[in-house]
A and B are shown apart, each in its own frame.
Chain A
Amino acid sequence: MITQWFFSHGDRRSLIVIAILLAIACLVPLLNLLVPDTSPLHVPTYLVSLLGKYLTYAMLAVALDLVWGFCGILSLGHGAFFALGGYAMGMYLMRQIGPRGVYADPVLPDFMVFLNWKELPWFWHGFDHFWFAALMVVLVPGALAFGFGWLAFRSRVTGVYLSIITQALTYALLLAFFRNDMGFGGNNGLTDFKDILGFNVQAGTTRSALFAATALFLALAVFVSSFIIRSKLGKVLVGVRDAESRMRFLGYRVDRYKLFVWTISAMMAGIAGALYVPQVGIINPSEFEPANSIEAVIWVAVGGRGTIVGPIIGAVLVNFGKTYFTAAFPEIWLFALGALFILVTLFLPKGILGLYGSWKTRQANRAAREDDEILPPVVKQNGTLMPTPEPQAAE
């Protein structure tokens, strides 16, 4: 029965993606843990973590696509929600170090001892419990997004204005987290993690488990996104994206729809950040860099915005390219990334999936033409080629 409900509420493409993700979640850890090192099928532990990192990025991209691709809100500050989730997880991991730090203080993390702090700041209390940290991973980005969105959407800040103030938001957080007296480790951030839920963070088994968890959560994110998109609410969101004023005149409370999807998206980004931190082993203020958030936008654009699968493909591809280029030709990476931004916006407004879609349309049209030669030439011309014009983001 559950299966039936599942099928009736997800589109086919999302279900395929979810199935693939579940398969990966089982397969990669198995190949890492059970297949011997010598076998060509063995997945080394570093690769498990790297793939896990890509998947957290993919999750961030899915979250971003939910607001940008389906609701027309271009956020240049989603990295902030990602980083906040990461910090919440980082705080839990810091508290788990306990007396094993360099200064061996049973309560205070090393950087606080170093700064001569005598007791734990109030906002660090509770982070020794995993459930509390997990709650904060969702609540902190969610609350920030809710407050910010409530102010912004209510006063109808849209389009590039909204993009610019989201950028200012993440920039302000960047400056704030760089400060030592904020109590988040300043410039160095949080690192030197030891345990998560009692398991060694460095161990291969823990890494595999984290990878599996990331894949599962990504699958969940895909499911939630596709559920929202396919619901009536999702239709309203697309309506807001394409003609915001018209939706308002039709009687929809546009700001509430936007606020809902914006907050959900921020929570998703927070979870992605929380999964990111134990796998890379550090969280520092540079995660708040506005450049990071814009990079996340290009993952979505490359994959194809307004689709659920596209962001995942984009995030993995672009980050794979980044890993490869920054190692092999560090000089070229920024050129490549810059060119990617320019070329995708100029020539691939619908991303890779859009390309695939228009190729399929072309195929179908060719087939139709061969089937039906008597169509008048005008219709033929209209029916072929050219992807449909990009729906304008609400301005």
Chain B
Amino acid sequence: MSLSRFLSIIAMLGLCLFPAIAGAQVLDDAKLKPLVEALAGDNFDNTSKAVSELAKSGAPRAAAILNALSAGDLYVSKTDKSVFIGAREGSDYAATDPLTGAKLAPVPRSAAEKIKVNNRLRRDIGAAIGGLTLMSTNATERRTAAEAILKNRDPETIPLLDQAITAEKDAGIKVLMQRAKAAAVLNSTAVDDVKIAAIAEIKSGNGREALGLLTPLANVQGPVGEAASAAISSINSELELWNGIQNIVYGLSLGSVLLLAAIGLAITFGVMGVINMAHGEMVMIGAYTTFVVQQLIRTSMPGLAEYSLLIALPAAFLVSGAIGVIIERGIIRFLYGRPLETLLATWGISLVLQQATRSWFGASNVQVSSPSWMSGSFDVGMLTLTWSRLWIIVFALSVFAVLQLVLKKTMLGLRMRAVTQNRRMASSMGIRTPWVDALTFGLGSGIAGIAGVALSQIDNVSPNLGQGYIIDSFMVVVFGGVGNLWGTLVGAMSLGIANKFLEPFAGAVLGKILVLVLIILFIQKRPRGLFALKGRAIEA
């Protein structure tokens, strides 16, 4: 698909470029004329011959002519058998001289006939154009030409490729050309040794493409077939390796999503021991904050649209954090020491927040846009990664790092840890424990809000957003071990990777069920999680 687009771009470039230098081509034109007329031959074989002749001539105009032929824009006049490039214009064709690119008098549609092409011819034309543009001064054109040959593997292009390879300066394109040549060699009648060398050349390239090129050869008798089978098996094992790597990377990215969703919970549940069933709604509020911020930016400061996510981050932290503090001061502080009641009350809060969002923003999804630096993808080896996937991983890890710093290096963190470890002693030392509780809960909720900003990029932003994450988050925290951020990190990542490795065997849903069952079994074995806190304080 992209190939045809590139070809049409080349054609356009050709059409723009050539009228300017047409004067210098007069002699060539004279030689070219019979070739072009031969294109209108009475059968496809003759046309095909003419195409390769035209390509061999190396005339600069040839590419444009061939493109027109491929696109079905080349016509032959019924009266004087002259060939022209036509475009429909009412009952006439607006005609262009294929040799000079000059405008001709319009030809009535009844007086001209389209030169027909079939698929085989189109492939030939593609290869011919590929050969023609191999020497182009434009790197993109050369790359496209090499890719085109790699696709149709026309042995005729080998001499042209040899020429181009020696002249090529760009290393990437050179490799591509060599691979194209190898593909063409395999398709030719060359001797076995040359073909085996070509197989080695192809093997070094893109795995799936190489498989496609080599598979037809595997059944050939003799050394070529053996070499091809050997290459195929080595490529297959390489692909398997990349498959594993892909599972790990995808698992890491899923793990990062889990980490983001769970890390706030690791604070409220893990550090404070508060079962916050409204945690998912804090995430949801963060996502809606992103939506509101984007709306504000769109209406008042469209120039900042690209940075809307960066602006939404602190906003979401503040909004969710403030709501968290209100919840803690208003409800949860009356329920300390009664974890099961806390669970029920926060569930009630989550219902209220969900319904409030639904009344306010509507029950359907709202549209959150992605900045350009998060869209698109890139290749690493044989796997394709989207930028959003990578950013989520980076973002989750940085949130984790910042949180660790806050807990370990700031006054607030010190007080939080002191209150967690020994509330009465901390209180005796002058720490205002109720304040620390409120701030800790606010911090956990704020982190959840930040997670909401990130999740708004990969999930539907609806009032139910949080519900989808709450059970997974609890699983991560419980699995990793309560009261330990490192446990949360390891728990999230291993659950993510386990999920992705189970998916190919069991399917997405069954994989998830298996993971849940495994966690349930795991908790039996280690009731306090992977990284359990030790000591007497735990039993209190």
Whether A and B are associated in the same complex: the answer reads yes
Query: Hey, which bits of chain A sit against chain B, CB under 8 A?
Result: 74, 76, 148, 151-152, 154-157, 159-161, 163-165, 167-169, 171-172, 175-176, 178-179, 290-291, 294, 297-298, 301, 331, 334-335, 337-342, 344-346, 349, 390, 392-393, 395
CA distance A395 to B523 in the complex (A): 16
Nearest B residue to A349 via CB reads: B341
Please classify the interface of chain A as helix (H, G, I), strand (E, B), loop, or mixed, using the class held by over half of its residues. helix
Q: What residues of chain B lie closer than 8 Å to A390, measured between beta carbons?
A: 338
Q: Which of B128-143 contact A (CB under 8 A)?
A: none
Contact at A294–B344, with CB atoms within 8 Å?
yes
Contacting residues, chain A, for B471 (C-beta < 8 A): 167-168, 171, 290
User: Chain B's nearest CB lies how many Å from the CB of A116?
Assistant: 19
Given contacts A334-B358, A346-B335, 13 further A-B contacts (CB under 8 A): A155-B523, A159-B340, A161-B478, A164-B475, A165-B520, A168-B471, A168-B474, A172-B512, A341-B344, A342-B345, A345-B335, A345-B341, A393-B340
A334 near B527: Cβ-Cβ < 8 Å: no
Compute how far the CA of A160 lies from the CA of B346 in the bound complex, rounded to whole angstroms: 13
Selected from A167, A178, A338, A392, the residue in CB contact (under 8 A) with B349 is A338
Bound complex: CA A104 to CA B342 (Å): 52
Q: Give every chain B residue within 8 A of A167 (Cβ-Cβ).
A: 471, 474
Tell me the complex Cα distance, A165–B477, Å.
12
CA of A390 to CA of B471, assembled, Å: 28
19 contacts between A and B (CB under 8 A): A74-B340, A148-B520, A155-B523, A155-B524, A161-B523, A168-B516, A171-B471, A172-B516, A175-B512, A334-B358, A338-B355, A339-B352, A342-B331, A342-B349, A345-B335, A345-B345, A390-B338, A392-B337, A393-B339
How many Å from the CB of A306 to the closest CB on chain B? 13
Give min CB distance, A303 to chain B, whole Å: 14
**Would A298 and B344 be within 8 Å (CB), given that A331-B359, A335-B352, A342-B349 are in contact?**
yes
Which 6 A-B pairs rank lowest in CB-CB distance, beginning with the nearest?
A: A341-B348, A338-B351, A338-B352, A334-B355, A172-B516, A342-B348
Closest to A73 in B: B340
CA distance A51 to B527 in the complex (A): 42
Counting chain A CB atoms within 10 Å of each CB, which of B340, B349, B475, B478 scores highest? B340
The proximity string for B residues 314-348 relative to A, scoring 1 for CB distances below 8 Å and 0 otherwise, is: 00000000000000000100110111111111011
**A154 to B523, alpha carbons, bound, how many Å?**
11
Q: Decide if the interface of chain B is mainly helix, strand, loop or mixed.
A: helix
Give the distance in Å from the alpha carbon of A169 to the alpha carbon of B518 in the complex: 11
- Which one of B275, B342, B343 has the greatest number of beta carbons of chain A within 10 Å? B343
With A and B bound together, what is the CA distance between A98 and B517 in angstroms? 36
Chain B residues whose CB sits within 8 angstroms of the CB of A178 once the complex forms: 509
**A157 closest partner in B (C-beta):** B527
Q: Which residues of the partner chain B approach A334 to less than 8 Å between Cβ atoms? A: 351-352, 354-355, 358
Q: A349–B356 Cα gap in the complex (Å)?
A: 26
CB distance from A328 to the nearest CB of B (A): 16
A199 to chain B, nearest CB (A): 37
Of all chain B residues, which has the CB nearest A331?
A: B359
Give every chain A residue within 8 A of B512 (Cβ-Cβ): 172, 175
Within the assembled complex, what's the spacing in Å between the Cα atoms of A154 and B474? 22
With A151-B521, A345-B341 known as contacts, the answer to whether A160 contacts B275 (CB < 8 A) is: yes
Is there an interface contact between B339 and A395, defined as CB atoms closer than 8 Å? yes
Q: When the two chains form their complex, are residues A331 and B355 in contact, meaning their CB atoms are under 8 A apart?
A: yes
Max chain B CB contacts within 10 Å: which of A297, A341, A395?
A341
Q: Which chain A residues lie closer than 8 Å to B350 at the CB level?
A: 338
Q: Are A345 and B344 in contact (CB under 8 A)?
A: yes
> Which of A155, A163, A341 has a CB less than 8 Å from the CB of B345?
A341
| A395 / chain B contacts, CB cutoff of 8 Å | 339
Residues of B within 8 A of A342 (CB): 331, 345, 348-349, 352
Q: Which residues of A contact B356 (CB under 8 A)?
A: 335
B contact residues around A155 at 8 Å (CB)? 523-525, 527
Bound: A167/B344 CA distance, A: 13
Given the known interface contacts A175-B509, A341-B347, the answer about A164 and B474 at a Cβ–Cβ threshold of 8 Å is: yes
Task: Report the separation of the CA atoms of residues A163 and B343 in the bound assembly, to the nearest whole angstrom.
Answer: 9
Contacts of B71 in A (CB 8 A): none
Contact B521 A337, beta carbon cutoff 8 Å? no
A223 to chain B, nearest CB (A): 27
- Contact among A164, A290, A297 with B478 in the assembled complex (CB-CB below 8 Å): A164
Chain A nearest CB from B494 CB (Å) reads 16
